[in-house]
Structure 1
């Protein structure tokens, strides 16, 4: 309230300012002809920018309007503000005189309202008890259904695998999910059960919906083929793995066993792996074999051998003095005959003395002399 009074006085002062500005020039002119003014007369002065109102001694400052007039500062009505201040002051004085209590009529209205609220709460509580007794208190929903209370009734929210008013009717998922990704896959047979279903998978598939394909080569967790590469195949019999092995060279799968665990004896094969002309010995090993060395007169790795032409080197070892022809053969060679006048095997030729036999064919009384190439003198 004190703030409201201060605001009102502020409005009065602003109003005096507006009126004083209009009379400032007139007062200035009067001051030029200033006469002596008694203390009973009101005065309005401009002092260093301040506008000062002074009344006569024991006199008031009054504002008087017509019956419909108002005293305003800007848009604020000072008359209404004063009326509101008086009303507020009367309310405050009443509260002070009655110890801050609530007026009797307000108290009566509050008491009546509280009584009505209590009665309404009691009726709601009784209604809830009645609805609960009639509906969900008997647990009508089965198989995990959720019960919702209604007015003098109930409603069951059933899980997907149950239906009906009380969730007691089994849903045939085999019909509902047929042809969808939620049902059995890959040719499996669907079997409905109470509240669920099962899938009977074909031999090649597994899983709850038969979506997992068997890979016997990978699922075995070991090398099924041992010395070969495992190739998965479609199972024919449920629970029986199906695969085949591509064996490495030198290994084969024995009868009744797909794994490559039997050694192949390459030396006994119809087509011999080592040279046959010339014949080279074959030696079998586990998963492999090797060939012996090529015989003399041949060169190669034993798998194949090529003839060596001995005559190309040092005339094959045949005599060069006298010169004897070297004749190469497959895997060997031989030397020709020593020339006339020489005797030997062609590798070594020794000059013969033809005069020692029958005087070399000369007349008995003649002298025989032997020379190379069988020339006689």
Structure 2
């Protein structure tokens, strides 16, 4: 049994006031240091005979658990996160795409519908990727793709109008279709008045019947201004033809001369002999029932 006297004789290594209290004149009893919280500031106190032990909480160290542990020196934050030391703990500030106490868990961004405008989302480690639908671009497919500037000439002969996620083509009257690639058949409206219509890419051409000219074959030709009759003969204009006749009757019926010999008609015109005259006619074009070109002479 330890007494005050034999404690002194044994040269005890403890503070008599701190660890022992008088029980009677000859005996000392153990003092419970754990009654004072200041002995274990951030831990759990366990009393022992003549002393005590502190079991520190996470983040603390020291005899009385009074010293903060800087967890950031152990590099516990993962995936490039920033570590912030706090009193008795630490905090990881995660980069985008990561979560968890140490930023160790990948965030599935696709669960939050990060891809817009109908795009398909694919989760990757620490990130995601979006497969955009036509007309959209950007990491999250939320930026309108200007097809008019991205693809010059997308409307061919038409004018391109950009819309959100799409575009429209304003076509000229000669074409149609989403991209103005379908030629309009102008011959459907029968624009050629006296002739056949030949549809072309972006327009049409009229093949005029004999005796007519102009864009729409609406002007009659005076062949007498184009061709000259032999001397002593007068020119009479017809439709696609002209007649050369003598001003005075030269032959009687029985002695009529064949004025087509020699042939006075030029430019491939046909010569038809008549009494004291001849008629020059042009071969005509042949149109089908829609007034489009069936064949040309």
Greater relative contact order (Cα < 8 A, sep 6+): 2
Alignment TM class, shorter chain as reference: 0.3 to 0.5
**Structure 1 or 2: more helix by fraction:** 1
TM-score between both structures, scaled by the size of structure 1: 0.35
Structure showing greater Rg: 1
